[in-house]
């Protein structure tokens, strides 16, 4: 009876049974059609790029790209990928397929073309991850017309026009770095992690230049607000966002927004958001502060309060990590290459009698030191600080490069390591740190070399506005560290920890410094 009791309603209710069967059939059909459509789209997507060679799996999904990005050595992998799939630069110029829509190039001519002032290419989705405050655009993420408008308003601030004391503020922070090393480490015969000290220096410089108030990393000799630690821990997430930008919209939703930093946070990136908001707010309203610094220039040239706040934030993040990497890497290359170290010290010694102990070399003097300039150029070539793809999107009509069709919407990324290490351009000694190449080159060769090196700072409408400030820091800090200290690596077998995540995370760069007689 119990069995009959359960079966009877099912037998009697034919409409319910038929309805359930219909729903199940429709659902199955929908799933089958969805799977079939997805498969067809994937095949079409793969076929449109099949004429460009690359890792087999890269044409089907972005997982190959994600795996390399998170591997810590994507700069080398990208270089090796271009070398492998077009070693002679003959077929594709060179181009390698690294994702369903993604192509990687180490051809400087193509990079200049897609970044030129009048280019029809647009920034790709890679840049969306640079919206550090998801609710606000900045110069790296805004629409093209707005980008040009912001560049025009901010150019004077970065060039120093109307800004008081750019060079003297850099000098003050160099002397603060020197004093820290002398009083806390050299006098006590202690090693120090220059990986951290270099970033303390660049963070203090950029905040001093931006709004006249250094963060105080050097003064405290500490990672204030745990900013560096937290930023480094979150770089993997940032990399994921450059490859899967739809995650940004997901994180910005009301449900998940609590995961993002806010200006209420006391540590990390959120704390910098609060500082940016506070400093921008001081320049507006009835009691606005008038100050001839970069922020003052931005405001004077028409930036709104919201824009000023967003640009301060971007300036701090983008301007400190990359310059710190350039300083760290170039210094490591100098002190581990005896020939270069000796030649540079000789050039510095010739200038030393003209400098007092509490004086910092001027930018003008440094620019007149040919070997120093060759060392800086070679350091940037040998170890470019930014290795992110910074992809640009092929315009709707498509394009062609050296006979290779580039379908509309293709994202062309930049292999910085490939451009700067290509034997076809730099010669068989491309992998050697050899500053002399810049002094031996003919005028025509030098012009071509400098044009390729300039890509380190971007190109055309997307060239880095902070280029001159970064070079000024390099000119000065390298000379002052080398003329004041005899520097040596604590463990030559493992000089540092260096991990690539579009930019470099470099720590445990342990150095001993011994005072020189000035």
Residues placed in the known binding site for heme: 464
268-281 and 305-335 helices cross at what angle (nearest 10)? Answer: 130
What are the tokens at 316?
């701090």
Annotated binding site: 464
What are the tokens at 518?
């000035």
CA separation for the pair 76, 413 (Å, rounded): 14
Name the strands in the sheet holding 392-393, side by side, starting at the edge strand that comes first in the sequence. Answer: 95-97, 102-105, 411-414, 392-393, 122-123
Phi, psi of 399 (to 5 degrees): -155, 175
Q: What are 203-208's contacts with CB under 8 Å, separation 24+?
A: 203/227, 203/316, 203/320, 204/173, 204/176, 205/169, 205/170, 205/173, 205/320, 205/323, 205/473, 206/315, 206/316, 206/319, 206/320, 206/323, 207/316, 208/169, 208/172, 208/173
Q: Where are the beta strands (DSSP E) in 300-430?
A: 392-393, 399-401, 404-406, 411-414
What are the tokens at 445?
């060769």
Any idea which residue has 């006098």 for tokens?
187
CA separation for the pair 146, 303 (Å, rounded): 11
β 392-393/192-193 pair status: unpaired
Phi, psi of 459 (to 5 degrees): -155, 150
């Amino acid at each position: 009876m119990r069995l009959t009791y359960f079966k009877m309603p099912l037998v009697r209710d034919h409409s319910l049974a038929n309805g359930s069967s219909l729903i199940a059939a429709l659902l199955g059909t929908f799933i089958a059609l969805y799977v079939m459509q997805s498969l067809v789209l994937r095949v079409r997507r793969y076929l449109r790029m099949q004429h460009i060679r690359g890792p087999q799996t890269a044409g089907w999904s972005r997982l190959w790209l994600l795996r390399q990005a998170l591997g810590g050595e994507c700069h080398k992998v990208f270089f090796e990928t271009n070398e492998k799939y077009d070693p002679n630069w003959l077929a594709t110029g060179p181009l390698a397929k690294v994702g369903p829509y993604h192509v990687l190039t180490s051809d400087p001519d193509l990079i200049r073309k897609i970044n030129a002032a009048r280019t029809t290419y647009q920034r790709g989705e890679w840049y969306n991850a640079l919206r550090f405050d998801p609710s606000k655009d900045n110069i790296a993420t805004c629409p093209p017309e707005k980008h040009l408008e912001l560049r025009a308003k901010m150019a004077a601030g970065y060039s120093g026009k109307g800004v008081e004391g750019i060079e003297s503020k850099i000098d003050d922070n160099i002397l603060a770095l020197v004093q820290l090393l002398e009083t806390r480490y050299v006098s006590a015969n202690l090693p120090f992690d220059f990986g951290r000290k270099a970033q303390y220096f660049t963070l203090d410089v950029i905040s001093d230049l931006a709004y006249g108030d250094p963060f105080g990393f050097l003064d405290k000799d500490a990672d204030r607000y745990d900013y560096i630690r937290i930023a480094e821990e979150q770089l993997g997430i940032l990399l994921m966002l450059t490859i899967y930008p739809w995650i940004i919209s997901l994180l910005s939703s009301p449900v998940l927004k609590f995961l993002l930093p806010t200006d209420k946070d006391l540590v990390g990136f959120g704390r910098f958001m609060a500082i940016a908001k506070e400093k921008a707010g001081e320049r507006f309203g009835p009691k606005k502060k008038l100050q001839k610094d970069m922020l003052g220039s931005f405001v004077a040239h028409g930036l709104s309060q919201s824009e000023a706040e967003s640009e301060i934030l971007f300036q701090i993040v983008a301007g400190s990590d990359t310059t710190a990497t350039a300083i760290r890497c170039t210094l490591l290359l100098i002190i581990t290459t005896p020939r270069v170290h000796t030649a540079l010290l000789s050039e510095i010694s010739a200038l030393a009698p003209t400098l007092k102990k509490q004086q910092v070399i001027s930018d003008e003097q440094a620019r007149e030191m040919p070997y120093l300039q060759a060392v800086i150029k070679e350091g940037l070539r040998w170890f470019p600080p930014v290795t992110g793809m910074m992809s640009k999107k092929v315009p709707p009509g498509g394009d062609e490069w050296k006979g290779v069709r580039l379908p509309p919407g293709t994202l062309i990324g930049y292999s910085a390591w490939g451009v700067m290490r290509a034997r076809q351009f730099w010669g068989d000694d491309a992998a050697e740190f050899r500053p002399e190449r810049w002094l031996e080159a003919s005028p025509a060769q030098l012009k071509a070399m400098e044009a390729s090196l300039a890509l380190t700072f971007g190109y055309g409408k997307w060239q880095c506005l902070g280029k001159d400030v970064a070079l000024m820091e390099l000119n000065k800090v390298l000379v002052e560290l080398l003329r004041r200290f005899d520097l040596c690596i604590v463990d030559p077998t493992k000089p540092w920890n260096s991990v690539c995540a579009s930019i470099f995370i470099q720590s445990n760069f342990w150095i001993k410094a011994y005072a020189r007689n000035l």
